[in-house]
Amino acid sequence: MPITVKEFANELNVPLAQVITKLIGLGVMASQNEIIDEDTCILIADEFGKEVNIVQPEEEKSIEEEFGLDFEDKEFQLKPRPPVVTVMGHVDHGKTSLLDEIKKSHVRTSEAGGITQHIGAYTVNIDDKKVTFLDTPGHEAFTSMRLRGAQITDIAILVVAADDGVMPQTLEAISHAKSANVPIIVAINKIDKPSANIDRVKQELLENGLLAEDWGGDTIMVPVSAKTSEGIDELLEMILLEAEMLELKANPNRRAIGTIIEAKLDKGKGPMATVLVQKGTLRFGDNVVSGFSSGRIRAMTDDKNRTIKKAGPSMPAVILGLSDVPNAGDLIYAVEDEKVARTIADKNKESNRENRISLNNRVSLENLFDRIKEGEMKELNLVVKGDVKGSVEALIQSLLKLDNEEVKISVIHSGVGGINESDITLASASNAIVIGFNVRPNINALDLAREEDVDVRTYRVIYDIINDVEAAVKGMLAPTI
Ligand code: GDP
């Protein structure tokens, strides 16, 4: 509990002047209204032959707890739900084309009354089962959602062009999916091209930790063409198969919790938001709250622009009726009435709270040892970038040797080239430190690192890196000047 000198003197029942004198004796020049720390309190009390009883403040309840917004469902309440899929991969390998082709060929003609529109997510039917695709491809979108605390993707489709093979962003995508623990299905795209070489892609993926099922591994790889539609049905079947194995479930019979996928201000209609429902069922007329924004759902449409009355788990819906434009990545809750919705929105405003990992919890080489000591950290996550492949590999080998009983060192992503935004987002979402050997962050990465408070360290000598990390793990890192 913070306490001022004056309050402390009162508590001790000692004249203020005497406390101040003792403080000066300890070398602390404090006026009566200054706050003194616990250790100083203990020392001063001891001088007066008294003992202090430090009362820790009660842990503040989160708004979710206070209003009982989220709670565990019972096993028997859980029902199977469709998988939510994100498409990732290197630029120009065909992510957008694949998403478009799936949308075009699998939105039933009977549904085509409504024209599919871009709302950030869409659902397709395959053999009467549904799959929801997030419509903004790329691992940056995927991880920036995670940054805000939302993990909505169940399966990642990694698109690799068969004529181009594994490229830097392919590797980034693999690291992003892996660090989020999201299973990967590979779509080897552009097989219609004469220069396509499926085996070469499999070989390159194997070198990067993904072994194809037909080669004895456990990664499903499906050759496809977004141009001719070849293989797409098989890809969708594989998604369903993977989803079945994941046993994805949610309770549809409760007030809804979802994530804002996209939001904008429509001139005529006001704030419009696409919600991906995660638990429960969102209904027309529900009172909802997301961050600062609250309101009653006064219109609800699906991805085909048809009016709907409700949306269950894993289904996207566009809603109208919110007071402000909410943030993409934030959670949205259905609550009992308008008053509760407004109270929560006001509280969120007051605490200026966002649904994201608190920046205070950031790891840095400086605070690493304290965190290990306090038992908060058992794993040090690193993103390692360097100028040449050989030195990156050598560096990783040496870093992994620093593993000890207290802390396990994991390299969640490594690569050749400058430190980019993708590295920072990944580090931020996984609470990792970024290490650059003979490479530097670009301007955007630097800005983002500052914003997200990610520790980025650049070096010119491998030995210095090893030394620093070793010292940090052992709590002997000299402070940087
Ligand atoms: P993205 O950057 O990953 O979203 O890639 P795009 O979907 O924009 O595709 C990049 C280019 O590759 C475009 O010119 C597409 O027409 C082309 N493309 C995508 N898929 C295929 C395919 O299966 N076969 C062929 N031949 N071209 C494709």
Classify the C-alpha dihedral 246-116-149-59 as positive or negative: negative
Q: Residue 100, exposed/middle/buried by CB under 10 A (0-12, 13-18, 19+)?
A: middle
| 121 and 315 Cβ atoms separated by less than 8 Å | no
pTM listed for this prediction: 0.78
Going by CA atoms, what residue is nearest to atom 6 of ligand 1?
94
284 CA to middle of ligand 1, Å?
A: 39
The protein residue whose alpha carbon is closest to atom 20 in ligand 1 is 94
Q: Which whole-number Å values give the CA distances from 231 to 64, 187, 197, 234, 257, in the listed order? A: 44, 9, 15, 5, 35
So what's the pLDDT on residue 479?
A: 53
d(CA 246, CA 107): 25
Pocket test for ligand 1, best of 91, 93, 96, 97 (most atoms within 8 A of CB): 97
Instruction: Name the token pair of 107.
Output: 């939105």
> Residue 91 has what pLDDT?
93
Amino acid letter for position 106: H
Do residues 126 and 105 make contact, with C-beta atoms less than 8 angstroms apart? no
At 111 the pLDDT is: 52
Per-residue pLDDT at 481: 45
Atom 25 (ligand 1) nearest CA: 190
pLDDT in tens, the chain (481 residues): 667 888 888 888 888 888 888 888 888 877 888 888 888 888 888 888 887 777 665 566 677 777 878 788 999 999 999 999 999 999 999 999 999 999 887 765 445 555 567 889 999 988 889 999 998 888 887 887 887 777 899 999 999 999 999 999 999 999 999 989 999 999 999 999 999 999 999 999 999 999 999 999 999 999 999 999 999 999 999 999 999 999 999 999 999 999 999 999 999 999 999 999 999 999 999 999 999 999 999 999 999 899 999 999 999 999 999 999 998 888 999 999 999 999 999 888 877 654 444 455 677 887 777 777 777 677 889 999 999 999 999 999 999 988 877 788 889 999 999 999 999 999 998 889 999 999 999 999 999 999 888 999 999 999 999 988 888 887 766 555 4
Residue 390 sits at the vertex; the CA angle it makes with 384 and 391, to the nearest 5 degrees, is 50
CA 468 – CA 476 distance, rounded (Å): 9
pLDDT of residue 354: 46
pLDDT of residue 9: 86
Q: How far is the CA of 130 from the centre of ligand 1 (A)?
A: 25
DSSP letters, 44-62, are HHHHTT----PPPPPPPPP
Nearest CA to 433 out of 416, 447, 452, 418 is that of 452
Ligand 1 centroid–CA 140 distance in Å is: 19
pLDDT on residue 357? 41
Q: Whose CA is nearest to atom 10 of ligand 1?
A: 92
Q: Ligand 1 centroid vs 207 CA: distance in angstroms?
A: 25
Per the annotation, binding residues are: 89-96, 135-139, 189-192
Ligand 1 atom at shortest distance from the alpha carbon of 137: 4
Instruction: Note the ipTM here.
Output: 0.99
Binding-site members for GTP are 89-96, 135-139, 189-192
CA angle 171, 206, 245 (to 5 degrees): 85
What residue type is 122 in one-letter code? Y
pLDDT of 195 reads 96
Phi-psi region of 329 (alpha: psi -120 to 50; beta: other; left: phi over 0): left
Q: Using a 6 Å CB cutoff, which residues line ligand 1? A: 89, 91-97, 137, 189-190, 192-193, 225-227
Q: Which atom of ligand 1 is nearest to the CA of 225?
A: 23
Q: Beta partners for 320?
A: 272, 299
